[in-house]
Amino acid sequence: MSDLAAFRRAAHAAVDWVGDYLAGIERHPVFPRVRPGEIRARLPAHPPETAESWDTILGDLDRVVLPGITHWQSPMFFGYFPANASGPAILGDLISSGLGVQAMMWATSPAATELETHVLDWMVDLLALPDRFRSTGRGGGVIQDTASSASLVAMLAARERKTGFETNRTGLKGTLTAYSSSQAHSSIEKAAGIAGIGREHLRLVAVDQAYAMRAGALEEAIRADLAAGHTPFFVCATVGTTSSTAIDPVRAIGEICRRYGLWLHVDAAHAGSAAVCPEFRWIHEGLELADSYCFNPHKWLLTNFDCDCFYVADRAALIETLSIRPEYLRNQPTESGAVFDYRDWGIALGRRFRALKLWFVIRAYGAEGLRKHVRNGVALAQEFAGWVKTDSRFELCAPVPLNLVCFRLKAGDEANERLRDALNASGRMYLIHTRLDGKVVLRMAIGGTYTERRHVERAWVLIRETAAGLPRLG
């Protein structure tokens, strides 16, 4: 494939492979029937000495790879949260790969940087986010790989702002304390470890019956730390927790953050996309009090992983925290201050041209198309929740504000684990569990690119029938 004619032939074949895969996706078991090590065993122990043909390589996709794929794009995949891929996003990625440019600085590809800034401002329009996140003021947006990275850099900027940008320079001193609800994503705790704060210094604040943070408990925790001589510096509020899409009270939390001088980061990784629809924008109530915010179009907004949109209200604090200027990265546009250099907005120096796929998605669907996709997921989840209520063997375990239904068999943890395992082993659908109030709960996350009503209906039939067939539990 060293010449471009060969590339074209191979590329057209690859496109057809992807088209065929997506068209036939329902033929595969959603979760693959492989044991650990089985895929590796099909691969040669050592790399080839000479080139192999494209036909051989493409053929191995079917022979070696597909039998070991968990089909996230299947309309019967209801695990985790959706990982929306879509035609325009796939092609945005393709063209980004073909261009092969770096988006680390303005000078390394001006269009990559300016399109990123611009499309992230478009997202402020689309989600009706607070104006302070726009690049045209003191804020701005940037694409991170994941919400894990976004939360980490938010925590770092918060750490630096609180310590006068001294920790970065001279190392951590004393005890800084951070806060999230007990339902916050594990990446917040991981970030506290990475940043040198210590995982124990992330206080897991109690939640209410809807699994949302109790603002009163947050304030008590901050006061207790202050009384102990610690330095509270950071709160992560979650809009749509991973376990149950609980929505923390952002305004109340934000007011506390203002009162005590803490950085407020709002993690809306999954749920944020819902705000393309006016009727769901209540989830962001109070967001104008936040210092930073993120949501992932790569979850529920038809844009391939990776694409986390991360916003800050004061970009200077972020840049001051993460910038470093060796000689070999100096250039006139950077020195002029007239441009953004996104390497100073995240961990990695090198960066892909990811704005392209987001631009393609927004244009190919339009605001209208994006709203339709979100509404479809929410409507199906609401309908599914209604079905659960009609079956006396089951119960709902949390409010269903959006597109995730947490439910369980009343028969106990073991019954739910067996039900999950039997459904997943059938290959006909896939879901995972979580724990709420210590109980095993099944999570039905709806919103795949190709998921229609008939798939959710079929899932409910499978769940009911499988539950009926479970051996009676002691």
**Rule CB under 8 A: which of 252-271 touch a second copy?**
none
> Applying CB under 8 A, does 16 fall inside the site for a second copy?
yes
> Applying CB under 8 A, does 102 fall inside the site for a second copy?
yes
Q: State the Rg of the chain over Cα.
A: 24
Q: How far is the CB of 108 from a second copy (least distance, A)?
A: 6
> Applying CB under 8 A, does 90 fall inside the site for a second copy?
yes
| Interface with a second copy: number of residues (CB under 8 A) | 151
> Applying CB under 8 A, does 63 fall inside the site for a second copy?
no
- Based on CB atoms, which residue is closest to a second copy, 169 or 472? 169
- The structure tokens listed for 408 are 């369980």
Q: How far is the CB of 57 from a second copy (least distance, A)?
A: 5
Could you say which of 30, 76, 120, 126 contacts a second copy (CB under 8 A)?
126
> Applying CB under 8 A, does 365 fall inside the site for a second copy?
yes
> Applying CB under 8 A, does 412 fall inside the site for a second copy?
no
> Applying CB under 8 A, does 443 fall inside the site for a second copy?
yes
Could you say which of 26, 59, 97, 226 contacts a second copy (CB under 8 A)?
97
Q: Which stretch binds a second copy (CB under 8 A): 11-19, 219-227, 375-383, 458-466?
A: 11-19
> Applying CB under 8 A, does 242 fall inside the site for a second copy?
yes
> Applying CB under 8 A, does 172 fall inside the site for a second copy?
yes
- Based on CB atoms, which residue is closest to a second copy, 193 or 216? 193
- Name residues contacting a second copy, limited to 314-353 (CB under 8 A): 321-322, 324-329, 331, 333, 336, 338-339, 347-350, 352
> Applying CB under 8 A, does 93 fall inside the site for a second copy?
yes
Q: How far is the CB of 392 from a second copy (least distance, A)?
A: 26
- Name residues contacting a second copy, limited to 280-309 (CB under 8 A): 298, 304-306
